[in-house]
Amino acid sequence: MYSLNVRDHFMIAHSFEGDVFGPARRLHGATYVVDATFRRQELDGDGLVVDIGLAGRCLAAVLADLNYRNLDEEPAFAGRNTTTEFLARFVFDRLAQAAREGRLGPGARGLASICVALRESHVAWASYEGPVG
């Protein structure tokens, strides 16, 4: 399996509901480093997993919708705990949609999966991986 990774970051504010979250129930900030890894069995005709420039721009566009936002105030997240795991899936869903719509170039049709990892720090992160199709 071949893979290509692009990296970016975003900053948000949010809070959580539920005793399990302790002090994180209060409004707090997070800066995530995001790794998006694109995987496929065979390289495309140009010898690529996916166009790295398009992948980087697409990831940046997805993250721009989250950056510098208080997620507690975003209607799309109403009633949801925007945990690191939840946000990894959110970013994955948008990247997979971009691949299906051709925004990652024609070579993206051959992608098997995408993995999105959100790193909160050097010791804690979460990810979501799934098929593109």
116: enclosing H helix or E strand: strand 113-119
Q: 115 forms bridges with which residues in the sheet?
A: 37, 129
Q: Average pLDDT of 15-37? A: 96
User: Is the whole-model pTM more than 0.75?
Assistant: yes
Residues 6+ apart with CB under 8 A from 22: none
Predicted confidence (pLDDT) at residue 133 exceeds the cutoff of 90: no
Rounded to the nearest 5 degrees, what angle is found at the Cα of 115, between the Cα atoms of 130 and 24? Answer: 105
Which CATH superfamily does the domain covering 2-131 fall into?
Answer: 6-pyruvoyl tetrahydropterin synthase/QueD (3.30.479.10)
What interhelical angle do 84-100 and 52-64 show, nearest 10?
130
- Predicted confidence band at 107 (pLDDT cuts at 50, 70, 90)? confident
